[in-house]
Amino acid sequence: MRLLLIEDDPTLAATLQRSLERKSIRVLLCADGALALAAWQQAQPDVVLLDLSLPGLDGLQVLQLARKAGLRTPVLILTARGTVGDKVLGLNAGADDYLPKPFDLDELEARARALHRRHTNAEAPVPHSALTLGALRLERDSGALYCRGTVMDLSPRELALMAALLARPGHAMAKERLFELVFPGVADVQFEAIEVVAYRLRKKLAGTGVTLMTLRGLGYLLKAD
């Protein structure tokens, strides 16, 4: 596994690089937010470990630029900011997981490997080539969601939520079940994070002819307008 660590604390960066490489994980380093996007594009890592407090550009700006550039690498945010609001901002910007400092090295490794496995499994071919509803088509082989033939720009979490709901269009799915599908095996994410993903997805579905509905006490469903 190849990790890109974007962290401006040289002592922490060197410690993480040394410790993770002992576990057969290759770690590439970048210490400047202004250089991070280019380093990300060049390295093509399996997972990105991203600090929020960076010189040049902060971590959230780097993440937003990366997602706009089409980089879908799983991102684990590492930060001393531990409030729920900061977690929501990170998830809303396209992060996949969040680990506040100080953290346990074994937990960091486990989370990074879990993100890598989930991302790899999500890209693996599965039976049934497509799920459709109205003008939307989710190609399960590629994991791409199309609207009238154009690929939509969705994060891995948003795609996971779409896949779950498109499997049963017009039927409500409980938030608890959707949380398990969108955040599998993640321990340090608030349950309300599924609402953040649903909110982002609902905005992106505007004008597609498909609506993501909230059913109080039941969960979410997709329906064609």
The CATH 1.10.10.10 portion of the chain extends over 130-224
The matching CATH number, chosen from 3.40.50.800, 1.10.8.60, 1.10.10.10, 1.10.150.530, for 130-224 is: 1.10.10.10
Model pLDDT, residue 148: 84
Percentage above 90 pLDDT, the chain: 43
Average pLDDT estimate for 88-106: 82
Per the listing, tokens 């399996």 go with: 46
Sign, CA dihedral 13-113-92-152, equals positive
Contact (Cβ atoms closer than 8 angstroms) between residue 52 and residue 86:
yes
pLDDT tens, position by position, 49-74: 999 889 999 899 999 999 888 888 99
The CATH 3.40.50.2300 portion of the chain extends over 2-123
pLDDT tens, position by position, 85-96: 666 777 777 888
Residue 211 has pLDDT above 70, yes or no: yes
Superfamily of domain 2-123: Response regulator (3.40.50.2300)
- What pTM does this model have? 0.56
Model pLDDT, residue 124: 46
- pLDDT confidence tier of residue 126, bands split at 50, 70 and 90: very low
Highest mean pLDDT among 17-21, 66-70, 120-124: 17-21
Q: What is the dihedral of CA 129, 121, 69, 90, to 10 degrees?
A: 120
If we measure between CA atoms, which residue out of 201, 182, 4, 188 comes closest to residue 86? Answer: 188
